[in-house]
Amino acid sequence: MSGSIRDREAILREDYDAVGVAKNYSGARWTETQHARRTHRIEHAWAKRFLRWAGPLGIILDLPCGTGRFSRLLQTHAPKLLQVDQSEAMLGQMSGPRAQGAISRIPLANDSVDLAFCFRLLHHFPESVQRKEALSELARVSRRWVIASYFDRSCFQAWRHRVRGRKSNRFPQSRKTFQDEAELAGLRVVREGFIARGISEQVVVLLEKMECSDGVFKPFVQTETSSVEKRTLSNGQSHFVKRYDFPKPLRRLEAAFRHTWRSPSRAEREFLNLQKMRELGISVVQPIDWWERRDSFGFVRESWLATEAVEAPDLDTYLQAGNQPSTAYFHALVESVRAISQAGILYRGLRARNVLVTDNGPVWLDPAKASFQQNPQSVALTNEKEFREEIRRLGLD
Ligand SMILES: C[S@@+](CC[C@H](N)C(=O)[O-])C[C@H]1O[C@@H](n2cnc3c(N)ncnc32)[C@H](O)[C@@H]1O
């Protein structure tokens, strides 16, 4: 078998351009049997989960797009979708913008998409060097994320093929080999999804680039259960993504008693509160999106909230750096606390670390614990007590 990816590509092009193959792929292939329909459904579920996990996206590349099996799903996760495949016949079976191109030389510049989606291709490459080349190309064009699938050799399906000695053009590999190859291509495995663990060969993976030239991956806030980082998408948009993660059961249990069990996650609560406050004319950061994943008991495993990126220090940091807020800022701050109370919002977090010092005045953030109450008078008393204590602590009274 030839070691060159180009030679292998030529064989695959012939295979997929052969009469009837593309038509069958877009028609019967994924609908004919119950098994195929189930696989198709589970593949979509994993892809959807990983797309959400990755956070807001600007541009997605689907390569190979085949006959557009994932087009609809991918379109709902990014405003722009690029679809590329090397087979003219396969592309001929789908509609919408698409381009012909091979994975060995993706016709895109470095870091030009936010996520590269590569489903059901890697198992067609028998040689490690070919898979590494393919993964390196995906890593080159993506700013950060890759979703790929490969065939795992340590499962019943692969074992049965080996025992039967059936010749096939699908080449399973071990999970370790896949991880090593991904690493050599500059990618690390973040999440794995199985169609049927131990039985079916297909594994879906979310990969993340290990290095990024402009350093957007480094969180500027990192605690045991949360991190905040600035993301700049390939379309130039920037925002902050706050991620809450409860990997340990004890932390999940503890968080459950505070806010997450069977009630909205922190990310959802924060998103909805920010939205409502903006509607009421309160100066808070603009929320963009949120997402959560729960375990089967209803505990939140992870969630994230994306907001606009306001590049300004919080009041605490501002004061600690030896700055004094202007009188106009201070008046606006007092006014904003009054407006919050008048709107009947019990903020539960009127702290200097939760308000930004911007050229346009104070901008509040982190209202995850805020609640909307009926009685503005009692709300005002609690808010003002909290705010006064904070002012005293800061020595601004
Ligand atoms: C099994 S289909 C998968 C299509 C789609 N990703 C899906 O899951 O429905 C494999 C696709 O890979 C394409 N392909 C094979 N080798 C390729 C290469 N080197 N570069 C780009 N596309 C390739 C084929 O033309 C075919 O459309």
pLDDT in tens, 360-396: 999 999 998 899 887 878 888 999 999 999 989 988 7
What gap in Å lies between CA 152 and CA 171, rounded to an integer? 9
Which of 46, 121, 129, 132 for a ligand 1 pocket mutation test, highest count of atoms within 8 Å of Cβ?
121
**Rounded Cα gap, residues 390 and 349, in angstroms:** 10
> How many whole angstroms from 121 Cα to the centroid of ligand 1?
5
* 330 and 363 Cβ atoms separated by less than 8 Å: no
Residues 6+ apart with CB under 8 A from 149: 43, 118, 119, 120, 121, 122, 123, 202, 203, 204, 205
Domain at 315-394: CATH architecture: Orthogonal Bundle (1.10)
What pLDDT is recorded for position 260? 57
* CATH class of residue range 5-209: alpha beta
Nearest-angstrom CA–CA distance, 50 and 262: 22
Distance 63 CA to ligand 1 centre (A): 7
Residue 260, judged by CB atoms within 10 A of its CB (0-12, 13-18, 19+), counts as buried
d(CA 36, CA 292): 29
Domain residue limits, the chain: 5-209, 221-308, 315-394
Q: Would you say 266 and 302 are in contact if contact means Cβ atoms under 8 Å apart?
A: no
Amino acid at 135: L
pLDDT of the residue at 251 = 76
Q: Which one of 26, 85, 132 would you pick to mutate in the ligand 1 pocket, going by the greatest count of ligand atoms within 8 A of its CB?
A: 85
Q: Which of 3.30.200.20, 3.30.450.80, 3.30.470.20, 3.40.50.1370 is the CATH number of 221-308?
A: 3.30.200.20
- Residue nearest to ligand 1 atom 25, measured at CA: 87
* CA distance linking residue 109 with residue 142, whole number of Å: 9
180 C-alpha to ligand 1 centroid (Å):
23
* Tokens found for residue 303: 């969630």
User: Are 141 and 114 contacting, i.e. CB atoms less than 8 angstroms apart?
Assistant: no
Ligand 1 centroid to Cα of residue 53, in Å, is 24
Ligand 1 centroid–CA 65 distance in Å is 6
Tell me the CB-side half-sphere exposure of residue 132, using CA atoms within 13 A. 13
Distances (CA, A) of 290 to 72, 74, 134, 276: 21, 17, 32, 15
**C-alpha angle 121/123/127, rounded to 5°?**
110
The predicted pLDDT at position 166 comes to 73
Residue at 215: amino acid letter: G
Q: Name the token pair of 197.
A: 């663990």
Dihedrals phi, psi of 144, to nearest 5 degrees: -150, -50
| pLDDT one-digit tens code per residue, 90-149 | 999 998 899 999 999 999 999 999 999 999 999 999 999 999 999 999 999 999 999 999
- What pLDDT score was predicted for residue 184? 96
If one counts every other C-beta atom within 10 angstroms of the C-beta of residue 34, the result is 7
Give the residue, by CA position, lying nearest to ligand 1 atom 6.
119
- Positions in the chain short of pLDDT 70: 1-2, 212-217, 258-262
The pair of structure tokens assigned to 113 is 């998409």
3-class secondary-structure state, position 15: helix
Count how many Cα atoms sit within 13 Å of the Cα of residue 339 in the half-sphere of its side chain. 17
pLDDT at 188: 94
Q: What are phi and psi of 241, to 5 degrees?
A: -120, 120
